[in-house]
Structures are given as C-alpha cells and as structure tokens.
Structure 1
Amino acid sequence: MSRAGALAAAPRRAAAWLWWYLTELTGENAYARYVARARGADPAAPVASRREFERERVERRYADPRNGPGGGCC
C-alpha cells in the first residue's frame, strides 16, 4: 500500500475502532456474542430473541445481591 493509501485508510480504521469500542462499552455486542456462542455449541438449539436476552440480562444485573454472586447493581 502506498503512503497516500495508508493515510487515506487511517481515518477509516480509527472510525471502525471507535465504533467497536463504543459498542463493547455499551454492551451492544453482547447479543451478537450470545448468538454466536449458542449457534456454535448447537446449531439446532433455539436462540432467545433480542428482547428475551436483554430482559434476562437486566434481571441478572439487578437481582437481589443476597441471592449470590453477580447480583446487585454495583
């Protein structure tokens, strides 16, 4: 790749990295990772819808902390 081509591609790479970082930070990629793992383990198994996945994720996040690890908001 020429120097001019590399310089032209740099903002695109930076934008792609920033987009990846923001989606990881906000949790937007969590469902895509869940689907990839679920289909990789057993392609015939049913996969929860995005709505079901998010509901379970919120319930786990705000569960009663007395019920074990991973519960509570903080």
Structure 2
Amino acid sequence: MAATVQSVCRMANDIARHLGHLPGEEAAKAIAGHIGRFWDPRMRTRLHEFVDAGADGLDPLVVAAVRHLG
C-alpha cells in the first residue's frame, strides 16, 4: 500500500514526539536516522516533497531532520 502524504506526516510527527526529549539538533539527527533506516525510499521521497511544499502541519524537528536525510 502506498503511503499517503497524511500518513507520512502523521508517522513523522509521531517519531518527533518520541525523540523530542533530545536536544534540538540531536533530535533532528535521531529522527533522520530512524527515517533513513526504517522508511521505504518512496516514503522518504514523499516526506521531502511535503517539506519542499511548505510542510504545513509537520513538526519543526521533522523539517530539520529532512536536511540530514540528504
């Protein structure tokens, strides 16, 4: 099943909630690490596209994490 933008956003925000206790940049790197290890490339592409489109509703830590995904 293809991940929708809504599901990608929800899952990314969930990860940010779980790792948000870490200091800012450390949290962003941890989120990026989790997404890089466990997410399908198509899901990562959708996340990148959503951030490029403005990332409305996405946790700022996730937006910061996307910079580390490359």
TM-score, structure 2 length as denominator?
A: 0.30
Q: Which has the larger radius of gyration?
A: 1
The structure in which a higher percent of residues are helix is 2
The normalised TM-score by structure 1 is: 0.29
More RCO (CA 8 Å, sep 6+)? 2
